[in-house]
Structure 1
Amino acid sequence: MQVSITGHHVEVTEALRAHVEDKISKLKRHFDNVVDVHVILTVEKLEQKAEATVQISGAKLYADDTQEDMYVAIDNMVDKLDRQIVKHKEKLQNHR
């Protein structure tokens, strides 16, 4: 799984990078075929936005979240991706 992290108007520190990689690694517990993850962290005035595109076998999933705290935005974004991956996995298993 390749994880690329970029920042718009924010410097991606080691703490942010470690937090994102720790949270994204939890996605593999539901679905093993995660190929590529691209995370974009953005700061616009008082809003902190985290968005991610996940390439898995058979689909491309997208999630974003905007909060006042970047770490909360990352957590919420990963939760959204987690739900999407579970839903995609159930689709694959039910429609044989």
Structure 2
Amino acid sequence: MNFTITGHHVEVTPALHDYVTEKVERVLRHFDHATSAQIILRVERNTHKAEVTVHVKGKDFFAEATDPADLYAAIDAMIDKLDRQVRKHKEIVTNHHQPAAPAAQGE
């Protein structure tokens, strides 16, 4: 899995890099088909914004969140949104509503 973490008007410190990487890996642990993730952290005026784009085979997931005071809170909200999307996609992919196979009769 390739992670690209960039910062716009904010320096991506090693602690911030490790925090984001750990959170994204925890979400994508449920889904094995992810190939890359691009994370953008921004500070615009007095708003902290976090965005993530995850590329999987056949689909891309995008989530963003803002927080007026804390970048870590924006990251946590973004991860919650991404987690909901990944779980919903996983439910769709693994369809549990398939009809049961007919029982084999021994003749």
Band the TM-score falls in, shorter-chain normalisation: over 0.9
RMSD: 1.4
- Point out where structure 2 has 5 or more consecutive residues left out of the alignment: 99-107
Larger radius of gyration: 2
AA aligned opposite 1:41: L
Name the structure 2 match of 1:45: 45
TM-score by length of structure 1 reads 0.94
Which fold has the larger relative contact order, with Cα–Cα distance below 8 Å and residues 6 or more apart in sequence?
Answer: 1
Superposition deviation, residue 20 in structure 1:
0.3
Deviations 1:50-90 (A, max 9, x none): 00000012210100000020001001101110110011111
Moved >6 Å (runs of 4+): none
AA aligned opposite 1:86: R
Paired residues, number: 96
Greater fraction helix: 1
AA aligned opposite 2:15: A
Name the structure 1 match of 2:7: 7
- Point out where structure 1 has 5 or more consecutive residues left out of the alignment: none
